[in-house]
């Protein structure tokens, strides 16, 4: 019966330190593979450079700005760029460059955070829908269809006007708006992966369903999900801007790109700088993220 007589039992474990070295090597190799993947696509590289630039600006915002984003310089109101203020000041005399740099912090923390929340919700709905099928699938999907029937921006406006404008609520709104799309994607991937033989093998170990979903299925959806994640951060940045412009974003004085456009657009003819800087910031970040995601997707498709 036993396998023992096949191979003599090993006396001691020999591969202690070398095993961890090998684990490190294989991790290093996957990092290297990813880098190779990114660097073989010029689109992805350009996108990554742009996004990284904004990430650096956000991280080092206090170091690369001379003023607090809230400091009002009464001596210089509505000025174009000059020595003291490299991108000029807005109608309250606040430094536009400071507000753009600190605004990057807002958008780069709220964007990924809200998409992350959306992904958690999307996976929590999509995995069981795809895995169990049948009436679970029907129930989940019909509810999500109802959400998807609303134009996204309308949905955000309804949610924010119901619960009020705050960074927490913006995250919630974007998560609710994004979750149905993600759930659909996860469901489709799950339906494909659940037929694989390693899932059958896990069932033959009597693993509980949630372990199968989290260990056998979800990790193997990661390719398409990572690309979708990046694209959605772009959209989130875009929607946070839109909400800010509609006055539904972060409450004022928080530095927020959408808010800057909103505050500045009424006297754009007097001073275009706050609006122009904030718009360019949104545009470059969104395009950067899209290029990165697209490049990554194309390049990883080419491997298959």
Partner 1 sequence: MDPSPILSLKNVAISYKTRKRDVDAVRDVSFDISQGENLGLVGESGCGKSTVAFSIVNFLGPNGRVTHGDVLFKGEQLRGRSEEDLRKLRGADISMVYQEPMSALNPSMRIQDQMAESLVAHRGLSKKEAYGESVAALKKVYMPDPDSVMLRYPHQLSGGQQQRVLIAMAMLNNPSLLIMDEPTTALDVTVEAAVLDLIAELQERYQTATLYISHNLGVVARVSHKVAVMYAGEIVELSDTRAIYRNPMHPYTMGLMRCLPDVDAPKGTRTLHPIEGRVPSPDHLPLGCIFSPRCELASEDCSHKHPDLVEMAPGHQVRCLRSLEWKDAKKIWEMEELAQEPCPDRANPNPDMVLNVEKAKVYYRVPLKTVGGLFGLEKRNFVRASDDVSFFIRRGRTLGIVGESGCGKSTLARAIVGLEPLFAGRIDFLGLDVSKPLSKRTAATIKELQMVFQDPNGVLNPSFSVGDQIAFSLRRFHTVPSNQVRAEVERLLQAVKLDESYYNRLPRQLSGGEKQRVGIARAISTNPAMVVCDEPVSALDVSVQAAVLNLLLEIQNSNNTTMILISHDLSSVRFFADDVAVMYLGRIVEIGPCETIYQPPNHPYTTALLAAVPRPDPDLKSSHIRLSGTVPSAVNPPSGCRFNTRCPFKIGEICEQEEPPRREMGNGHLIFCHYTPEDLKTLKT
**How many Cα atoms are found within 13 Å in the side-chain-facing hemisphere of 155?**
18
**Among 203, 251, 253, 280, which residue interacts with partner 1 (rule: CB under 8 A)?**
203
The candidate with the shortest Cα–Cα distance to 147, out of 173, 167, 169, is 173
Q: Is 40 in the site for partner 1 (CB under 8 A)?
A: yes
Q: Is 298 in the site for partner 1 (CB under 8 A)?
A: no
Applying CB under 8 A, the span of 42-50, 124-132, 201-209, 225-233 interacting with partner 1 comes to 201-209
Q: Is 149 in the site for partner 1 (CB under 8 A)?
A: no
Q: Which residues contact 102 (CB under 8 A, 6 or more apart)?
A: 61, 65, 69, 255
213 neighbors 190 (Cβ within 8 angstroms): yes
CB of 22 to partner 1, least distance (A): 4
Q: Is 6 in the site for partner 1 (CB under 8 A)?
A: yes
Q: Give the whole-angstrom CA distance, residue 282 versus residue 235.
A: 10
Q: Is 142 in the site for partner 1 (CB under 8 A)?
A: no
Residues in contact with partner 1, total (CB under 8 A)? Answer: 32
**Among 52, 200, 268, 283, which residue interacts with partner 1 (rule: CB under 8 A)?**
200
Q: Which is nearer to partner 1, 195 or 269 (CB)?
A: 195
The candidate with the shortest Cα–Cα distance to 38, out of 229, 297, 304, is 297
The candidate with the shortest Cα–Cα distance to 106, out of 259, 291, 290, 274, is 259
Q: Is 201 in the site for partner 1 (CB under 8 A)?
A: yes
Q: Is 304 in the site for partner 1 (CB under 8 A)?
A: no
DSSP 223-265: HHHHHHHHHHHHHHHHHHHHHHHTT-SS-TTS--HHHHHHHHH
Applying CB under 8 A, the span of 12-20, 136-144, 150-158, 165-173 interacting with partner 1 comes to 12-20
Q: Which is nearer to partner 1, 83 or 134 (CB)?
A: 134
Q: Tokens 């080419």 — which residue? A: 302
Q: Give the whole-angstrom CA distance, residue 224 versus residue 190.
A: 12
**Among 52, 56, 80, 196, which residue interacts with partner 1 (rule: CB under 8 A)?**
196
Applying CB under 8 A, the span of 145-153, 204-212, 272-280, 286-294 interacting with partner 1 comes to 204-212
Residues forming the site for partner 1 (CB under 8 A): 1-3, 5-7, 9-10, 13-15, 19, 22-23, 26, 40, 196-198, 200-207, 215-216, 219-220, 222
């Amino acid at each position: 019966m036993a396998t023992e007589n096949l191979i003599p039992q090993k006396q001691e474990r020999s591969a202690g330190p070398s095993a961890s070295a090998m684990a490190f090597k294989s991790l290093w190799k996957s990092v290297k593979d990813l880098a190779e993947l990114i660097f073989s696509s010029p689109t992805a590289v350009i996108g990554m450079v742009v996004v990284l630039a904004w990430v650096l600006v956000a991280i080092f915002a206090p170091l690369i700005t001379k003023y607090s984003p809230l400091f009002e310089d009464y001596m210089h109101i509505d000025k174009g760029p000059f020595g003291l203020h490299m991108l000029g000041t807005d109608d309250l005399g606040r430094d536009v460059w400071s507000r753009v740099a600190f605004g990057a912090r807002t958008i780069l923390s709220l964007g990924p955070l809200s998409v992350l929340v959306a992904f958690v919700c999307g996976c929590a709905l999509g995995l069981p829908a795809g895995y169990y099928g049948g009436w679970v699938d029907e129930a989940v999907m019909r509810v999500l269809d109802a959400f998807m029937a609303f134009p996204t921006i309308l949905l955000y406006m309804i949610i924010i006007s119901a619960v009020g404008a705050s960074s927490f609520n913006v995250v919630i709104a974007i998560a609710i708006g994004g979750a149905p799309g993600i759930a659909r994607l996860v469901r489709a991937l799950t339906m494909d992966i659940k037929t694989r033989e390693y899932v059958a093998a896990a069932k033959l170990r009597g693993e509980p369903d949630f372990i199968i979903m989290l260990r056998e299925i979800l990790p193997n959806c990661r390719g398409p999900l990572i690309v979708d994640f990046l694209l959605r951060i772009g959209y989130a940045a875009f929607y946070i801007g839109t909400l800010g412009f509609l006055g539904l974003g972060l409450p004022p004085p928080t530095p927020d790109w959408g808010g800057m456009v909103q505050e500045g657009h009424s006297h754009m003819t007097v001073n275009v700088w706050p609006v122009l800087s904030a718009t360019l910031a949104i545009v470059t970040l969104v395009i950067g993220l899209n290029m990165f995601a697209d490049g990554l997707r194309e390049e990883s498709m080419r491997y298959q």
